[in-house]
Structure 1
Amino acid sequence: MRKFARALAPAIAATFLLAGCGGGGGGNEATNTTPEETPSETATAEETGAPARADADLVIWTDALKIDAVKAIAEPFGEANGITVEVQAVSSDLQTNFVTANEASNGPDVVVGAHDWIGNLVQNGSIEPLQLSADDLSGYSPKAVQATTYDGQLYGVPYGIESLALYRNTEVAPNEPKTMDDAIKAGEAAVKKGDVESALNLPVGELGDAYHMEPLYTSMGGYLFGTSGDGEYNADDLGVGKPGSVKAAQKIGQLGEKGQKVLRRSISGDNSIALFTEGKAAFLVSGPWALGDVRDSGIKYAIQPVPGFKGMGPAEPFMGAQAFMVASNAKNAAFAQEFVNSGVNNEEAMTTMYEKASLPPALLSLQDSIAADDPDTALFAEAANKAAPMPAIPAMAAVWEPLGKAYSAIVGGADPAKTMKDTGKTIQEAINAS
């Protein structure tokens, strides 16, 4: 999740590969595997393409960025419980490889991954509910617990959270904006003075970027999926194409290349951060993954939650959570549950994950304790606490590509209302077909 914009396309592909939105056949070809593609229970690691399961009592899969952090809590757990533990890094396609290996019964006992995998993992029968309730995680960010809860059951213990925030170049924009309008006004003034080239670096690109556009979309009244009384997303209530989304599209069009030129397709996930760190932009919408580059650049900066537009609703970017989950075909399910429920679910383990994985912590007490020493990371935790969990429902797979393309087209000058309504129809047809 740390390089979300760049990793989005393969993540979407994996989502379509792993599961459609419905249970039966008749779906889109891209969302269904044929009988020949389905691994058998006796498939080898070579046949499935997944890494071979290590020979240990408790096997954990994670990505290469987090392996040292996970080892630091898993190995002491193994020693304390008299069991062997192996943490394996899966270099690419972790979600896809996990589903395949789990189905073939040669996967790990525990997997560490993003909360928005959960809907597909549950639909594929790949993970088990935890032997914990939401109340057992009352010390964590409520949004993180919400994110790891699916269909009323808790499937993950969250350790890290992240969301977008607004970076500000304080040399050209010294005052903290109260609204997005204030930020844009200050940025445009800096451009007019020749201090910067861009008022606001929000990634758009040629294919669009639905992730980074979400705070603007929601502030203007748009929503992707409605929610039920318990806060879970309802795939039957698609907001794209409805009046709020049209109003948001019109605002995005006004800020686009045929309007104020604040949003531009030339700004993408590949250059938005670099241009800000080079002092060429007054503001940047990005996440904690940009923090290292911003600090290293020496630029004078400040960070705040993304503000909404004046007189409109709050900006609600997506919140993402990283979590530990138990495999449904774990060879040692009891060890797996104990590790996730107890070995991970404590302040010492959460501190280790924060220090070694460099993500804002999900544990509230840890958020408080880091505020003095690392206010930037604490602010990102605060922003995530206020954000909306990224929908983990399988229907979300139908949203990313067409909505991103719609944003790019609207920024480029396409009719906002027609584009958004047509996009809503395209997404709904894809959901119905899956």
Structure 2
Amino acid sequence: MRIPLRAAVAAVGIAALTAGCSGGSGDGAAPAGTTAPEGGASAEETGAPARDDADLVVWTDELKIDPVTQIAEQFGEENGISVAVQAVTDLQSNFITANAASNGPDVVVGAHDWIGNMVQNGAIDPLQITADQLGQYSEVAVDAVTYDDQLYGLPYGVEALVLYRNTDLAPEAPATLDDAFATGLQLKEAGTVESAFNLPVGELGDAYHMQPLYTSLGGYVFGRDASGAYDPTDLGVGDEASQAAGARIQELGEGGSGVLTRSVSGDNSIALFADGQAPYLLSGPWARADVEAAGFGWDVQAVPGFAGAEPAQPFTGVQAFYVASNGANKAFAQEFVTGTMNTEEAMQTMYDGANIPPSLVSLQESEVAADPQLQAYLDAANAGEPMPSIPQMGAVFEPLGQAYSAIVGGADGAETMVQTGDTIRAAIS
């Protein structure tokens, strides 16, 4: 049963406001796609980094370490405690392992789609936050960090795919994907560009980048239950709408119009566009620096849908702060996340340092005033659906990506989607 995003937010948002302070994952089972920690293993045995000897330890990645360090050090000075911010590779897996061994951080910074796995492993605690505070953030961000009717993360950034356009090659913004495809094919046939439309496919496929097309054609991955939570028993891959979407994608592939090709992949998609070899690029905020440096005129918009079809809904990703369930100083951790981080000053620091579109509404408004193009990135995130954070999502991306690559290469779209649905269903059952 598919439930519209806004209705789902209304259902889960109220329950999230009353989140308690206990962690835990129910029966402790690790569903398909979940990385379970090795019980009793030490940090040395698993390769997880050792916790720094400080009162408050925060784990993040290299991209975010500078702004997180700036905020954490100020928190330490104000509270008279020592702090340490560590950049950790393979962050989610190492955090779960180290937390299970009580050798992990007090706070971890990461993507919202980790939540299901972290909750199943009892690795994070719900947050203690008021309704008024939560109301300062965008609905899609709150939806993303809510799991099992509890709020687990404080969102600071939102990301979704957008459509970049080389305005020297394509002066008019396309109203539909069909318009973009037609313009791109004309330019390709004239020999002006190498690629009509840069959507990464490659030999392994890319289910993330195909999602806007798939949803506009009526497809979905997981539906939602009556409470608004993603329902792993409601798999859309392989149903009639999915088959129709697969058939249309086949028409766009190498055996059809050729607007989608496996020669465009995650390795070359942005570079080809920046070199002026494609009029359009389907990518995210992370491509902006390369596009700006390219030297041609450009614009950006939320991904349009197909003519006469559903709106395109990319996956929305949310970056957030989480409190570790086995942290050495959980009181400091809760105060840091729900107090210090939960301010416009801290959110401004994160935006300036990590350059991920903000989830705090007041900051969105002030930043759009200074940078009007930011609105397109926010529109895209608000139009999307949060990446499902249920552990079963781990069984989706590889087979679905491979299916798209095969379909673009000429495999029967409808039949391939049915087979892929069967594969995913067997993996999560």
TM surpasses 0.5: yes
Distance (Å, rounded) in 1 between the aligned partners of 2:28 and 2:103:
24
Alignment RMSD (CA, Å): 1.8
The farther-off stretch of 124-133 and 268-277 is 124-133
In structure 2, the residue matched to 1:167 is 164
What residue identity is the alignment partner of 1:38? E
Q: How does 1:333-412 map to 2 (within 5 A)?
A: 333-412=330-409
In structure 1, the residue matched to 2:247 is 250
Q: 1:325 aligns with which of 322, 325, 329?
A: 322
Q: How does 1:190-339 map to 2 (within 5 A)?
A: 190-339=187-336
CA contact (8 A) 1:21 1:431 kept: no
How far is 1:44 from its partner? Answer: 3.9
CA contact (8 A) 1:118 1:150 kept: yes
Residue segments in structure 1 that go unaligned for 5+ positions in a row: 1-19
Q: SS of the residue aligned with 2:328?
A: coil
Distance (Å, rounded) in 2 between the aligned partners of 1:168 and 1:68:
32
CA contact (8 A) 1:39 1:48 kept: no
In structure 2, the residue matched to 1:47 is 45
Q: Summarize deviations over 1:142-161 as a string: whole Å, max 9, x none.
A: 10010000010000001111
Q: 2:182 aligns with which of 158, 182, 185?
A: 185
In structure 1, the residue matched to 2:124 is 127
How far is 1:22 from its partner? Answer: 8.7
Distance (Å, rounded) in 2 between the aligned partners of 1:247 and 1:375:
37
Q: Runs (4+) of structure 1 moved beyond 3 Å?
A: 20-25, 30-33
How far is 1:194 from its partner? Answer: 2.3
In structure 2, the residue matched to 1:56 is 54
What residue identity is the alignment partner of 1:149? T
Q: SS of the residue aligned with 2:57?
A: strand
In structure 1, the residue matched to 2:141 is 144
Distance (Å, rounded) in 2 between the aligned partners of 1:32 and 1:113:
16
Q: Summarize deviations over 1:278-332 as a string: whole Å, max 9, x none.
A: 0000111000111000111112111000000000000000000000000000111
Q: Summarize deviations over 1:187-206 as a string: whole Å, max 9, x none.
A: 11222232212110000000
Q: 1:21 to 1:168 in 2, by over 3 A?
A: farther
CA contact (8 A) 2:285 2:356 kept: yes
CA contact (8 A) 2:76 2:82 kept: yes
Distance (Å, rounded) in 1 between the aligned partners of 2:131 and 2:415:
42
Distance (Å, rounded) in 1 between the aligned partners of 2:227 and 2:316:
17
What residue identity is the alignment partner of 2:367? I
Q: Summarize deviations over 1:353-390 as a string: whole Å, max 9, x none.
A: 00011111111111111113223333212211221100
Distance (Å, rounded) in 1 between the aligned partners of 2:59 and 2:152:
16
Confirm or deny that 1:117 pairs with 2:114: yes
In structure 2, the residue matched to 1:79 is 77
Distance (Å, rounded) in 2 between the aligned partners of 1:391 and 1:249:
21
In structure 1, the residue matched to 2:3 is none
How far is 1:397 from its partner? Answer: 0.8
In structure 1, the residue matched to 2:9 is none
Distance (Å, rounded) in 2 between the aligned partners of 1:60 and 1:367:
26
What residue identity is the alignment partner of 2:288? L
Confirm or deny that 1:421 pairs with 2:422: no
What residue identity is the alignment partner of 2:38? T
Q: SS of the residue aligned with 1:130?
A: coil
In structure 1, the residue matched to 2:87 is 89
Q: 1:285 to 1:22 in 2, by over 3 A?
A: farther
What residue identity is the alignment partner of 1:246? Q
What residue identity is the alignment partner of 1:344? M
Q: Summarize deviations over 1:170-224 as a string: whole Å, max 9, x none.
A: 1111101111111111111222232212110000000100000000000000000
Distance (Å, rounded) in 2 between the aligned partners of 1:370 and 1:31:
37
Confirm or deny that 1:67 pairs with 2:65: yes
In structure 2, the residue matched to 1:38 is 38
User: In percent, how many aligned pairs have the same letter?
Assistant: 62
Q: 1:100 to 1:248 in 2, by over 3 A?
A: same
Q: 1:385 to 1:321 in 2, by over 3 A?
A: same
What residue identity is the alignment partner of 1:250? A
CA contact (8 A) 2:35 2:117 kept: no
How far is 1:31 from its partner? Answer: 5.8
